[in-house]
Amino acid sequence: MEILTEEELRDRMTECYDEMCLYSEKGDYKKAFEMLYEMWELLSGNKIDHEESFSVVAGIIENAIDCGDKEVMRQWIGKMDYIAEKRERETGDKGEKEYYRGKVEYELGNYEEARKNLHSAVKNGWRLTEYDKKYADFLADKKNTGKSDRNVGLNVNDSNAVGKGNEELDEKTYKKITSLSNRADKCAEKGEFDKAKQLFLEALAYVPLPKYNWEASTWLYTALGDVSYLDGKYDSAIEYLNEALKCPDGIGNPFILLRLGESFYESHNMEKARKYLIQAYMCEGAEIFEGEDKKYRETLIKAFPAPDLRREAAHSFANPCASAGGSKEVLI
């Protein structure tokens, strides 16, 4: 095989990934697999030690789930276990291994193992999104095992995956939004924030009017706000996140509140920073600050130095999550 430079390898990987997304969008899973396997072969030496190996293996597993290829799931889930464990040691991020293992066990009909792993993923901070609705329903409802885990902090409501009420986006629109969002996520992971933002905006353009009625708008505006925050463009982050608040389930979403507070902090608006950081804390508890700069958490401690921050904060700010089942009783 031809030896590629690092730049050539990155460009070819991106080309393969984009082609894979297009084939997957069309339901041509065979071609999608071909692109994914080419990406895997492009990795030299010990493939699972490459940073890109996670995206490739995750893509293979997701493609196998989409087309119901259980044999491929069995062949590749072990590699994902290894890669996710390695990433956890290097970054401290938890939940990836259990998330993919849980999904595969569910597809293989091993519901007890699926529940155990998915529950662990959520407990470790992994958020199930609209794309994971059937797995969220599996945890939240009495399906297959007869047990319910309604209090595991899922950020998925009872509506359709990216719909409003009883309506649902048509399959073509849904897949287009999914494809664009996946590409945007990959760009954001590489620090290509302008390109990521453009792709998220393209995805948002596919959401029907009025956009505030659709759950897809909630997470697309949130993604735009998150990318803007990571790019240091805090005014834009605030603008997008405020739009997300107007969309379904936005007002009580702890991540939106967290990013708003952090963006106001960086914009030197400490009053609003404290307001939204406290609301995020009231929704999610102290774990909302895990992995975040400690200065944001310290802002709350300085504002409310009492032993029970939640009790003191409650006198100053309404709990936006009260209607969604109440806040966690966790001290900061």
Whether 152 maps to a domain, the answer reads no
Which is higher by pLDDT, 195 or 307?
195
Q: Judging by beta carbons within 10 Å of its beta carbon (0-12, 13-18, 19+), is residue 28 exposed, middle or buried?
A: middle
The SS3 of residue 244 is helix
Instruction: Looking at the structure, tell me whether residues 175 and 318 fall in a common domain.
Output: yes
In angstroms, rounded to a whole number, what is the distance separating the alpha carbons of residues 43 and 19?
18
Instruction: Looking at the structure, tell me whether residues 300 and 192 fall in a common domain.
Output: yes
Choosing from 98, 121, 140, the residue where a domain stops is 140
pLDDT band at 302 (very low <50, low <70, confident <90, very high): low
Highest mean pLDDT pick, 20-24, 145-149, 328-332? 20-24
Whether 136 maps to a domain, the answer reads yes
User: Among 257, 276, 285, 287, which Cα is nearest to 317's?
Assistant: 276
Q: Which of 155-159, 187-191, 321-325 shows the lowest mean pLDDT across its residues?
A: 155-159
What pLDDT was estimated at residue 140? 74
pLDDT tens, residue by residue, 21-49: 788 878 899 999 999 999 899 888 888 88
Q: Is the pLDDT at 234 greater than 50, yes or no?
A: yes
What pLDDT was estimated at residue 147? 38
Q: Is the pLDDT at 317 greater than 60, yes or no?
A: no
What pLDDT was estimated at residue 145? 44
Choosing from 87, 120, 140, the residue where a domain stops is 140
Whether 163 maps to a domain, the answer reads no
DSSP labels, 300-322: HHHH--SS-HHHHHHTTS--TTG
Name residue, tokens 């044999």: 71
Containing domain of residue 248, as a range?
Answer: 171-324
Instruction: Looking at the structure, tell me whether residues 176 and 133 fall in a common domain.
Output: no
Total count of domains within the chain: 2
What pLDDT was estimated at residue 201? 92
Whether 35 maps to a domain, the answer reads yes
Instruction: Looking at the structure, tell me whether residues 179 and 107 fall in a common domain.
Output: no
Instruction: Looking at the structure, tell me whether residues 178 and 308 fall in a common domain.
Output: yes
In angstroms, rounded to a whole number, what is the distance separating the alpha carbons of residues 239 and 183?
23
- Mean pLDDT rounded to a whole number for the chain: 79
In angstroms, rounded to a whole number, what is the distance separating the alpha carbons of residues 160 and 39?
33
* CATH code (residue 232): 1.25.40.10
Q: Is the pLDDT at 53 greater than 60, yes or no?
A: yes
What pLDDT was estimated at residue 209? 79
